Amino acid sequence: MTEKTAFSGRRVWLVAAGVLAAVLVLLMPESALALPDLDPEQPPGTEGFTTVLNWIVWGVIILGLAGFLCSAGYLAFASFTGREIQGFKGLIIAIIVCILASAAGAIVAVFI
């Protein structure tokens, strides 16, 4: 019996803490909830880093497109042997690589 009452006591405290947090958020002025609008600025001397990063992304996209074409060719030949799923997996991986490589520029642009 004592374990059950101890558990229900903890539950009451957790519910009370959750209600208190919800009330504080509701009563907080809107200006306290708004995040500041930051304007990121590139640090001096990092122009070479962004150039190298752009070259790497360009190379990854080229390799992704080459992988896509190779996987498409493999898929065409594998259809005769019954191994289409391996060619299909290669196509999906190549598409994901190209998407991630093109999104990496946008993600890095947010931070730089």
Instruction: Render pLDDT for 57-76 as a digit per residue (tens, 0 to 9).
Output: 788 888 888 888 888 888 88
Closest CA to 109 of 45, 39, 56, 62: 39
Bigger pLDDT: 78 vs 104: 78
pLDDT of residue 40 exceeding 70? no
Counting every residue, how long is the chain? Answer: 112
| Number of neighbouring beta carbons within 10 Å of residue 65 | 14
3-state secondary structure of 22: helix
pTM for this model (two decimals):
0.49
Q: In which residue are the tokens 């498409």 written?
A: 72
Map tokens 């122009």 to a residue: 47
Q: What SS3 class is residue 61?
A: helix
